[in-house]
Structure 1
Amino acid sequence: MNNAPVRTVSDAKRDFYSHHTRPINSIYRRVVDELMVEMHLLSVNVDFAYDPIYALGIVTTFDRFMVGYEPEADKASIFNALCRSIHSTPEHYRGDAEAIKAAVSGMSLDDLKGQFEHLGEGGEGLRGTLAAIAHREKFKYSRPFGIGLYTLVEAVTPPEALKEKEAVETLFKDLASRLNISPDKLQKDVELYRSNMEKFAQAQEVMKDMLAADRKKREERKKAAEAVAEGITEPVAAAPEAGESADSPD
């Protein structure tokens, strides 16, 4: 029996910042903090079991809500630190997420729904993952799992069809019943995710304008500094000493 003390959120944060040492852009800090805490709390929950759909939800959340992050090169470091903070790796998460998404490549929505049928018979690949979830005695549902499930549906559904709210609600209610998870929790998370994505898209436009204005100011300051260094413009003369005329000879 493992008697090791349960790791705390503070432990996870300490691990995170040991792998990513640069400051996090304040606009995105909340996204990173919420993901870090959520991943940690699930990792120490005795009823939680990692699966590829959950991994897809984590990867999708990070990638979509970190769009526009600068410097761009820091995104990989941040995701690596998130995974390392729970003693996993980005390769594990991204590998499973890409594999489960590739499993629905070329499918129609009806094909995907067919994967949820006859789960009592088990199976391999996506069907095997779904069967294991449906048969788990204490499956710990999570928001990232709901987002992962939505991502699979989104991958095989025309954008116009996803705008039909009643149809989407009916679909996820049916999928939830086949997986033996709460349809209310799944529906709530899907609706919140869709709403947040819309708000984020709007915020992105504002952020683009802010970042563009900031870049323009930096470029203007750089050009001004270069011009001074090259002698194109004269620097402002220093103020004369007290008691000394501005036009006094040296």
Structure 2
Amino acid sequence: MLVAKRFVAPTAAPRPKAAPAPRSSIARKAVATPVLAATFKPPTVAETKAKFLAGYQKPVASIYSTVLQELLVQQHFMRYSKNYQYNPIFALGFVSVYEQILESLSAEERAAIFKAYVDALGENADTYKRDAQALEQAANGLTPESLHPDANGNDVQKALASIATHSAAGTFSYNKFVAIGLFRLLELSGAKEPSALEKLVKAVGVKPEAVNRDLLMYKGVLSKLAAAKELMREFVEREKRKQAERDAAKAAKAAGTTESSPAQVQA
């Protein structure tokens, strides 16, 4: 404070120069936003997994649990990537994968696990379901030729246009669920020609090589899962037969004991 008095006292002229405080304050405010943004951190994979397990606490068969955990980890990184934006085609792809993986479970179980899974990613399970169903219904009434981006078109064309716009701007975060969603649209529209997939993929600005790679991986996962389900079915049937044999042996033993009891009483 002594220094401040000696600086201001001599004349009135230096006073305008001696007012850097407001500029310093503004400068601090200017950097406040990026500093706050930099402090934001998405949840960790462990936190996402924990949230899922808290949302669905019943045991899940190992063949399903393993695949679900792998998908959850992969989707965690998709969800919190820099350019991630929700898209109905992404939802269609994920819902298609999910339903095929857990098709052997009851509808009630599938719905409960689905909600816990999507909630764990900080998104809305009802939105996923609603958008996927809307695209399925719309695509059923389309031809392969009508599957093209159009911001003023139907729901499918608008969703395709959104991907195309972000791809052109370099802000689209591609992932395998988008590839599966695009493939599913072609299936629903009745496309038969392999060239239809390449045409659609190029129209939205996605690399055909990436889509083909992800579709092959997807088919591989389904094949492995089908084989695992078959092994489990055989195991369950074998266990049922063994249990039936054990029950029959117990019943026969009990019947033999009952038949011998009167003779023992007479003796």
The TM-score bracket by the shorter chain reads 0.7 to 0.9
Q: 1:133 aligns with which of 148, 159, 163?
A: 163
1:103 has 2:128 as partner: no
Q: Map residues 149-168 of structure 1 onto 2, 5 A cutoff.
A: 149-157=182-190, 161=192, 167-168=193-194
Q: 1:215 aligns with which of 228, 234, 240?
A: 240
Matched residue type, 1:114: S
**Alpha-carbon distance, 1:74 to partner:** 3.1
Tell me which residue corresponds to 2:214: 189
Root-mean-square deviation (Å): 2.7
The answer to whether 1:113 aligns with 2:138 is no
Unpaired stretches in structure 2, ≥5 consecutive residues = 1-32, 259-267
Q: How does 1:141-152 map to 2 (within 5 A)?
A: 141-152=174-185
User: Aligned partners of 2:187 and 2:227: how far apart in 1?
Assistant: 20
More helix by share: 2
Q: Which protein shows a greater Rg?
A: 2
Which whole-Å deviations, capped at 9, do the CAs of 1:175-215 have from their partners, x for residues lacking one? 11110111110111122223443444444333322222233
- Identity score, percent: 26
Q: Which runs of 5+ in 1 are unaligned?
A: 162-166, 236-250
* Paired position in structure 2 for 1:61: 97
> More displaced, 52-61 or 199-208?
199-208
| Residue aligned with 1:181, SS | coil
Q: Tell me the amino acid that sits aligned with residue 112 of structure 2.
A: S
Quote the residue 1:78 is aligned against. 113
- Quickly say closer, same or farther: Cα 1:203–1:52, change in 2 above 3 A: same
In structure 2, C-alpha distance between the alignment counterparts of 1:87 and 1:219, rounded to whole Å: 47
Deviation at 1:63, TM superposition (A): 1.0
In 2, distance between residues paired with 1:147 and 1:139?
16
> Structure 1 residues 48, 223: closer, same or farther in 2, change over 3 A?
farther
Q: Match for residue 76 of structure 2?
A: 40
Aligned residues: 219
Distance 1:114 1:17 in 2: 42
Which residue in the other structure is 2:153 paired with?
A: 123
TM-score, normalised to structure 1's length?
0.76
